Structure 1
Amino acid sequence: MRLARLLACPAGVSLTYFALAAASVTFARFTGGVAMVWIASAMLAGRLLHLPEHRWTPWLVGSAVASALATGLWGFGWAAAVPLAVINIFEAASAAVIWRRITKAFWPYETLEWVASFYIGIVLTVPLLSGAAGAFTAWVIYDQPVIDNFTRWIIGHSLGLLACLPVFHFIYGRLGRGRSFLPPREMLPQATLIVGAFVLVTVTVFALDMRALLVFPLIYLVVCAATQPSAILTLLPVLLMLIGGVMTFSGRGPIAAMDWSMGDRLQFFQLYVAVTVLTALPLQCERAKRVLELRRMKARIAELESQRPAA
């Protein structure tokens, strides 16, 4: 599939990185500091996961140029463009390296250990290191407050990795092989029912000002994590971010009604999405483990059947 490979090639990933980074520094720098929402690192890390490390250079260089352009044109300016680009690329590459190490060590038989390592290594440690470097850079070049930028960076980048890295891992796993990440044709009736109901629930929740209703998309996604394949489940966090994010940014829904600044409301929404993924991820990992074990069991039974002597 030509479009899939185009999206996964260095040029396609760099353009996607530029779009995500430009959107973040344009619409999510509410206090004039670092962006309070950041998804680009999760996108790049999701692509790197499906490439041998010795082939990473074109994707890293292209995304670094994209990051520098976004920062120079719409962010802090050209003085900080290159240092922040290096920090952002380091963050994405570190997340990909840690994912590979913990997957090699724990997957698929120790899924709880894998999930805990994902939270501690990727979601916590990597943003702490990149956040310290980013806040220090902003302080040295522009005399920006260190603690404020450090806090905003950690929240935005940590929640971005938590909510979006598993999604981009699945998407680029399909695109890198020239396949669509959408559900296959034989799964379309089931996918239409599940996704359509989720869209209806999410739109209803974010059209009202009742915060208690926010639990319903979370419960829906958790149930789907335990029962639905990845091709369907991956669409749900994306739809939640698109529908909920647009409605919150436009001033509608339970989060937009909070008496906070727009930046704090968007970070709370990002936290809401991250908690939803945080709750569903262990169930999806356990389901994937059981599917793999069932396939191996069937393959072993078929092998034994083939070796049985004829009566």
Structure 2
Amino acid sequence: MSTRNHRIGIALFSGLIYFLSALLTIDPVLDRGVATMWLASPALLALLIVRSRREWRAILIGATIASLAASVVLGCGMIAGLPMAVGRIGEVVVAISLFHRMKMRRGFLGTLARIGRYVLAIGIVAPALGATIAASVAALYHDQTFAQQWRTWFVGHGLGMIALTPLFAMLFSGAIRRWWRGAALPLRGEGVILLAATAIVATGVFGQDRLPLLFLPILPVMLTTFRLGLIGAATSTTILAAIGGYATLHDMGPTNFLGGDLHLRLEFLQLYIASTVLTAFPVAADLSRRQSLYRRLRESEARYRLLADHSSDIVLSLDRRGRIAYVSRSIEPVAGKSPGQLIGTRALELVHPLDRDLVLVAHRDAIHAPTGTQIVEYRAQLAGDALCWFEAHTRAVTDEHGAVTGTVSMIRDVSHRKSLEAELSRAASTDPLTGLVNRRVFDAALAARLDTAARGGRGGCVAVFDLDHFKAVNDRFGHAAGDHVLQCFARIAQGVVGEDDVVARLGGEEFGILFPDADIARAQHLSERLRATLAASRLTHDEISVELTVSAGIATIDAGASATAVLCAADRALYVAKAEGRDRLRLAA
């Protein structure tokens, strides 16, 4: 029951709107046939646009009944009024169908493409159908020429729907009421002043017929549009249409330059109003989109700054020259300066001098490849003189034309990670018991010396040491004592050799020493010194005193030899030393 009552209410409301709009038809010469300006069609079309499709049937029924009633009241009669109602309602049905099919329900004057579709559907196709029916009726019942009546209807209804449909749509949708409630008091006052200015200028222009000043009202209309948006465009053009229509009907205004034909002057006025609407509404729609975009940008920037200011990561924006345009507050502990003090300075000044080239290359690569992300690690001196590692992810920032205007970087302190990586690297290359480098590092160093020898340089020498009777130490005193002995030998070896010499634990109780650039005499001297020092040392562990000796074999690193060959030669010399009684050195043959 409530649904039925709702539909009846909608039908009555739409019928009343249509009937009142029809009575306001601007045409004092009805005996000429069709009306020059018909307000009811744009009012009905606007009502269909803003209401749900479920209500269209009730709206059209109410409008059809109202059209028949208006025909009787305006003197057309019921017989002629029936086909005229078909033409009036039919053109609106065609218009709303095309309007809906073209998906122009909202923002239908927002772009040039939509304006083109709107004019085609509302101003050409739909009134052409109504004009054909109405002109036939007028020619039959009013003895008027079909062509003249068709032109009058087509121009009047087409321009009327183009010009007035947006205005009625704004009114029926409640947009004006919502704007007034939501607008601040100063904006309301500004709106009243601008609309009053539009009315004053329009009155001045249409109150005289000596000068063609129709261009003057465009200025306050556009100014109102820029300040108030769609509401301003709709209200100001409505004021202009009302004042212009009243003046034209009373033989006033610049339209009198067209002569005494009222139909022609009314058609010209509709063209003028339609042109104003098609100028102001797209501007208003574009301004509305821009304001919405700016609002979203401001909200996005607010969120961005909130995240940036409360993040431990550093957000850094640079211009193309590498100068700081924005930096988050998290920079303060690093630079010892506030973001305001850093704006305009060169970002490279915050980077360790040794890493500035890397950062500069990443900045340039981001500019030259704006779709990619550049990742670079670098060191920076903190305010407290501590040296920390940072990782920067950098992307280019482009404008609306795709041109690069700068870069933005997310920078994170990775000192802990770098420290862990260094620790892992040391663990991978260091013997955990003695602290010496392991076999892998020793082999790499030996390979580098072989490469030097192959290029004509001096390769140096390799010595392989093996602790004598080390198994007996483990068996007699335990593995803890054995581990202590290995650590003591490592300490003695590092104290004897030079800074460039490489001491490594090759495995078990076997050690290797690489003497880069050393001849056999120097390698033999240092190795003998190590052997003698160990032999003269008493190694104490938990009140246990251990005497230990070491045997060694020494081989030169010659050009063309392989690492295996060099180590095998040193091992053979070591076996000779052990076979001759241990605690001695032997040179490879």
TM-score by length of 2: 0.47
Task: Judge conservation of contact 1:209–1:253 (CA < 8 Å) in 2.
Answer: yes
Distance 1:304 1:55 in 2: 45
Aligned residues: 301
Is 1:20 the counterpart of 2:17? The answer is: no
Q: Secondary structure at the match of 1:37?
A: coil
Distance 1:281 1:310 in 2: 43
Q: Which moved more, 1:86-95 or 1:122-131?
A: 86-95
Deviation of residue 67 (structure 1)? 0.7
Is 1:67 the counterpart of 2:67? The answer is: yes
Is 1:238 the counterpart of 2:238? The answer is: yes
Give the superposed CA RMSD. Answer: 3.0
Distance 1:114 1:61 in 2: 29
Deviation of residue 131 (structure 1)? 1.1
Paired letter, 1:116: G
Q: For each residue in 1:102-146, what CA deviation from the matched residue of structure 2 results, as whole angstroms up to 9, or x when unmatched?
A: 345996897221111111121111111221122223345555421
Task: Judge conservation of contact 1:46–1:169 (CA < 8 Å) in 2.
Answer: yes
Task: Judge conservation of contact 1:111–1:289 (CA < 8 Å) in 2.
Answer: no
Residue 177 of structure 2, aligned match among 156, 176, 180: 180
Q: For each residue in 1:278-307, what CA deviation from the matched residue of structure 2 results, as whole angstroms up to 9, or x when unmatched?
A: 222322232233234334445555676788
Q: Which moved more, 1:201-210 or 1:139-148?
A: 139-148
- The answer to which structure, 1 or 2, has the higher relative contact order (CA under 8 A, 6+ apart) is 1
For the pair shown, the structure with the greater C-alpha radius of gyration is 2
In the other structure, the counterpart of 2:36 is: 36
Distance 2:27 2:107 in 1: 38
Distance 1:62 1:108 in 2: 26
Distance 1:171 1:76 in 2: 30
Structure 1 residues 173 and 149: CA distance shift in structure 2, 3 A: same
Task: Judge conservation of contact 1:183–1:232 (CA < 8 Å) in 2.
Answer: no
Unaligned runs of 5+ in 1: 1-7
Structure 1 residues 173 and 105: CA distance shift in structure 2, 3 A: closer
Paired letter, 2:195: V
Deviation of residue 158 (structure 1)? 0.6
Structure 1 residues 36 and 58: CA distance shift in structure 2, 3 A: same
Structure 1 residues 107 and 227: CA distance shift in structure 2, 3 A: same
Q: In percent, how many aligned pairs have the same letter?
A: 26
Map 1:197-216 onto structure 2 (within 5 A). 197-216=197-216
Deviation of residue 9 (structure 1)? 4.4
In the other structure, the counterpart of 1:170 is: 170
Is 1:80 the counterpart of 2:80? The answer is: yes
Distance 1:128 1:63 in 2: 20
In the other structure, the counterpart of 1:229 is: 229
Q: Which moved more, 1:146-155 or 1:275-284?
A: 275-284
Deviation of residue 15 (structure 1)? 1.4
Deviation of residue 40 (structure 1)? 0.9
Q: Secondary structure at the match of 1:225?
A: helix
Q: For each residue in 1:219-266, what CA deviation from the matched residue of structure 2 results, as whole angstroms up to 9, or x when unmatched?
A: 332343344322222111111121121122122222246422222222
Q: Secondary structure at the match of 1:34?
A: coil
Distance 1:101 1:296 in 2: 30
Paired letter, 1:15: L
Q: For each residue in 1:137-178, what CA deviation from the matched residue of structure 2 results, as whole angstroms up to 9, or x when unmatched?
A: 334555542111110000110110111011111111117xxx
Unaligned runs of 5+ in 2: 1-8, 312-589
Which one has a larger percent helix, Structure 1 or Structure 2?
1
Task: Judge conservation of contact 2:38–2:156 (CA < 8 Å) in 1.
Answer: yes
In the other structure, the counterpart of 1:271 is: 271
Is 1:99 the counterpart of 2:96? The answer is: no
Structure 1 outlier segments of 4+, above 6 Å: 302-309
Q: Secondary structure at the match of 2:180?
A: coil
Is 1:52 the counterpart of 2:52? The answer is: yes
Distance 2:49 2:34 in 1: 26
TM-score by length of 1: 0.84
Q: Secondary structure at the match of 2:214?
A: helix
Deviation of residue 84 (structure 1)? 1.6
Task: Judge conservation of contact 1:109–1:289 (CA < 8 Å) in 2.
Answer: no
Q: Secondary structure at the match of 1:214?
A: coil
Paired letter, 1:81: G
Map 1:147-166 onto structure 2 (within 5 A). 147-166=147-166
In the other structure, the counterpart of 1:3 is: none
In the other structure, the counterpart of 2:117 is: 117
Q: For each residue in 1:13-40, what CA deviation from the matched residue of structure 2 results, as whole angstroms up to 9, or x when unmatched?
A: 321211221232x735455211111121
Q: For each residue in 1:69-111, what CA deviation from the matched residue of structure 2 results, as whole angstroms up to 9, or x when unmatched?
A: 1112214221121222122112223323333333459968972
Is 1:189 the counterpart of 2:189? The answer is: yes
Q: Which moved more, 1:158-167 or 1:280-289?
A: 280-289
